[in-house]
Amino acid sequence: MPSFFFPGCRKSGSLLLLLFCFFSASAFGQGMGSIIGTVVDANTKQPLGFATVFIAQTTYGTNAAENGTFKLAALPAGSHELVVSFLGYESVSHAVTLQPGQQLSFRFELSPKANALQEVVVRVDPDWKGNYETFFQNFIGRSPNAAATEIVNANALHFKFDAQESTLTAEADEELVIENKALGYRLYFGLKAFEMSFKDKRVFHAGYPRFVEMKPRSKAQQKRWAAARLKAYRGSMMHFGRALYAQNLEAEGFNVRKLRRIPNPNRPPEQEIQAGIRRARAQSKGMVVTYVKPGRPEDSLSYWLRMSRLDKQVAQLFTGAIPYDQLIRKDTSTGQTRLQFTDFLNVVYTKEREEAGFLSQNTFGARRTPTWQTSLLTLLEPYTFLEPTGMILNPYSHLIEGYWGWEKLAEMLPLDYTPTAK
């Protein structure tokens, strides 16, 4: 991967750069409202009974009645992503803003998928197992929670590897049914995109997640789930976003500092390195090459190869705390909260240490003692919007690295999750 690393100036294994991730944002406010409507076939206008209607990345959802009507009651006021899906049809999403006491009404017309009526040709993919393992590790994760998570209908997944671009993409015939037995959720995920670039280790995935709480077998299991959910929440990006929105980062255990990436002063320019490698290789073949440069007595192949392996950039970490008005501000036109900053945010969560799995990413790297969970956040746009739930509104607006990049779907909680102390 390229020289995208931290924390401070430390590399810790093969860190993934994750472009996050979900088409969902919700600003849960005071008061309740409801949404009613009907779901029909766009062509025949016939009702689509038992269609699924839900608020993305929450536990709020229902199924339409046989006549296609539905009602979502007792919804928190605020902005929501309403999603309607039915097997064999294109899903529809609609951003809604619900006022306290308000009832919104909609009529959704779903179109059949283009290939739904075509003959299905089953082709054996000899690389499916290996591609699935790569997908699972970079979509579900490699944490202890991921080890307790299963994609029930994994055979719905299809993969394509582009050798020229060195990218793996995935698509699914239907909603992925994911059972997270560590957190006690059954997750229905309408996968819209998954792409992993092996060139720079960058992963992007997007979709419509829906949570359903699993029924515990005992009070002891319910207690374990509650503890696991709290652990997953603490230090997460959702936790950080909520703490930033409420302007109580330090109290919640987050140490946030500005980080800047600068050219590595110990690395010669790339052109000089390549020229040095060519000279050294030519000398090794018995050719006479004259090269004299004051201050650099060594001109061996091993030296120039060593220089080529040095990171092109190093991290410069600032020590002073960042004022909140340099991180978030109210947008005068919309009233929403902007997330707006320059360079990178180095985010250290000081109440939990790194998991062993995070440290073991680099099998051949030197072992070290776990330290505080450290993540890096950068914006790809001048600003984006931050919701009270801790979600960044635009999934294309930012990149995360480090610990948050390692934590994947197996650590994800619904937006309506409320932490309770042990």
Same domain? 384 vs 250 = yes
Is 129 in the same domain as 73?
Answer: no
Q: How many CB atoms lie within 10 A of CB 235?
A: 27
Q: Are 9 and 41 in contact (CB under 8 A)?
A: no
User: What is the torsion angle, in degrees rounded to the nearest 10, for the CA atoms of residue 148, residue 151, residue 154 and residue 156?
Assistant: -170
Task: Answer yes or no: do 160 and 274 share one domain.
Answer: no
- The predicted-structure confidence for 169-227, as pLDDT tens digits, reads as follows 999 989 999 999 999 999 999 999 999 999 888 898 889 999 999 999 999 999 999 99
Kindly state the percentage of the chain with pLDDT values over 70: 85
Contact present, 42 and 90 (Cβ < 8 Å)? no
Are 170 and 159 a contacting pair, CB within 8 Å? Answer: yes
| 80 within 8 A of 95, measured Cβ to Cβ | yes
Q: Is residue 411 one of the residues assigned to a domain?
A: no
Q: What is the pLDDT of residues 339-358, one digit of tens each?
A: 999 999 999 999 999 998 89
Q: How far apart (Å, rounded) are the C-alpha atoms in residues 3 and 136?
A: 25
Q: What is the pLDDT of residue 159?
A: 96
Residue 416 lies in a domain: no
24: pLDDT strictly greater than 60: no
Residue 360 lies in a domain: yes
How far is C-alpha 308 from the geometric centre of its chain's CA atoms? 31
Half-sphere exposure of 412 (CA within 13 A, CB side): 30
The verdict on 244 and 374 lying in the same domain is yes
Do 257 and 370 lie in one domain? The reply is yes
Structure-derived torsion over alpha carbons of residues 247, 251, 254, 259, reported in degrees to the nearest 10 = 60
Centre a 10 Å sphere on the Cβ of residue 237 and count the other Cβ atoms it contains.
Answer: 23
Residue 303 belongs to some domain of the structure: yes
What is the per-residue pLDDT across 73-98, written as a single tens digit (0 to 9) for each?
999 988 889 999 999 999 999 999 89
Phi, psi of 320 (to 5 degrees): -80, 145
CA distances (Å), origin 126, targets 123, 161, 333: 9, 12, 54
Indicate if 140 and 193 belong to the same structural domain: yes
In a shared domain, residues 15 and 162: no
**Other CB atoms within 10 Å distance of the CB of residue 334:** 9
Output the pLDDT for position 365.
59
Q: CATH no. for residue 48? A: 2.60.40.1120
Domain identity same for 101 and 170: no
- In angstroms, the CA 53 to CA 200 distance is 37
In a domain, 217, yes or no: yes
Of 408, 15, 403, 23, give the one whose Cα is nearest residue 202. 15
- The residues pairing with 196 across neighbouring beta strands, listed in sequence order, are 168, 203
In sequence order, what are the beta bridge partners of 263?
313
Backbone torsion region of residue 225, taken as left when φ is above 0, otherwise alpha when ψ lies between -120 and 50, otherwise beta: alpha
Q: Is the pTM of this model over 0.75?
A: yes
Separation CA 63–CA 83 (nearest Å): 12
Pick 157 or 120 by higher pLDDT. 157
Q: Helices 270-284 and 301-309 meet at what angle, rounded to 10?
A: 150
* Rounded CA separation 192/186 (Å): 19
What local confidence, expressed as pLDDT, does residue 20 receive? Answer: 36
Residues 278, 379 within the same domain: no
Q: Tell me: the pLDDT tens digits for 25-78?
A: 344 445 799 999 999 999 999 999 999 999 999 999 999 999 999 999 999 988
Does residue 90 lie within any of the structural domains? yes
Render pLDDT for 373-397 as a digit per residue (tens, 0 to 9): 999 999 999 999 998 999 898 888 9
How many other CB atoms sit within 10 Å of the CB of residue 269? 10
Confidence of residue 13 (pLDDT cuts 50, 70, 90): very low
The reply to whether 104 and 132 lie within a common domain is no
In terms of domains, do 255 and 349 share one? Answer: yes
Note whether 248 and 353 are same-domain residues.
yes
Residue 417 lies inside a defined structural domain of this protein: no
Domain that holds residue 49: 32-110
What pLDDT, on a 0 to 100 scale, did the predictor assign at position 293? 54
Round to the nearest angstrom and report the end-to-end CA distance of the chain: 40
- Please report whether residue 26 resides in a domain: no
Residue 144 pLDDT class (50, 70, 90 cuts): very high
Number of domains present in the structure of the chain = 4
